[in-house]
Amino acid sequence: MRPLEDIYSLLDTPRKIVITMHQKPDGDAMGSALGLYHYLKTFGHDVVVISPTNWADFLHWMPGTNLVVDYEREKGRADLLLQHADWIFCLDFNVLSRTKRMEESLAAAPGNRILIDHHQQPETARFTWGKSDVNKSSTAEMVYDFIKESGGANRMSLDCIQCIYTGVMTDTGSFRFPATSASVHRLIADLKDRGLQHSVVHENIYDNFTENRFRFIGHVLSHLLDVYYEYNTAIITVPQQILQKFDIKTGDTEGLVNYPLGIQGIRLAVIIVDRGEERKLSFRSKGGFDVNVFARKYFNGGGHASASGGSSYEPLEKVKQQFLVAMKENAAELSSYSF
Ligand code: 5GP
Ligand code: MN
pLDDT digits (tens, 9 = 90+) for 18-53: 999 999 999 999 999 999 999 999 999 999 999 999
Give the model confidence (pLDDT) of 126-164 as tens digits: 999 999 999 999 999 999 999 999 999 999 999 999 999
- Mutation probe of ligand 1 site: the residue of 170, 308, 319 with most atoms within 8 A of C-beta: 308
pLDDT at residue 84, rounded to an integer: 98
Pairing type for strands 112-117 and 87-91 reads: parallel
**What fold is seen in the domain 212-335?**
Diaminopimelate Epimerase; Chain A, domain 1 (3.10.310)
- 168 pLDDT band (50/70/90 cuts)? very high
Which whole-number Å values give the CA distances from 262 to 230, 267, 272, 335, in the listed order?
16, 9, 18, 17
- Stated as kind and residue range, the H or E segment containing 312 is strand 307-312
- 250 pLDDT band (50/70/90 cuts)? confident
CATH 3.90.1640.10, applies to 2-206: yes
Does residue 302 line the site of ligand 1, with CB under 6 A?
Answer: yes
Residues 6+ apart with CB under 8 A from 304: 118, 119, 120, 134, 291, 292
Q: What is the spatial distance between Cα 270 and Cα 24, in angstroms, rounded to a whole number?
A: 18
Give the model confidence (pLDDT) of 79-100 as tens digits: 999 999 999 999 999 999 999 9
Residue nearest to atom 2 of ligand 1 (CA): 282
Does residue 260 line the site of ligand 1, with CB under 6 A?
Answer: no
Does residue 31 line the site of ligand 1, with CB under 6 A?
Answer: no
pLDDT at residue 339, rounded to an integer: 53
Distance 16 CA to ligand 2 centre (A): 25
Q: What is the spatial distance between Cα 51 and Cα 179, in angstroms, rounded to a whole number?
A: 26
> In the chain, which residues fall in CATH 3.10.310.30?
212-335
Does residue 25 line the site of ligand 1, with CB under 6 A?
Answer: no
Q: What is the spatial distance between Cα 179 and Cα 311, in angstroms, rounded to a whole number?
A: 25
> In the chain, which residues fall in CATH 3.90.1640.10?
2-206
- Confirm if 73 and 48 have CB atoms less than 8 A apart: no
pTM of the complete model: 0.95
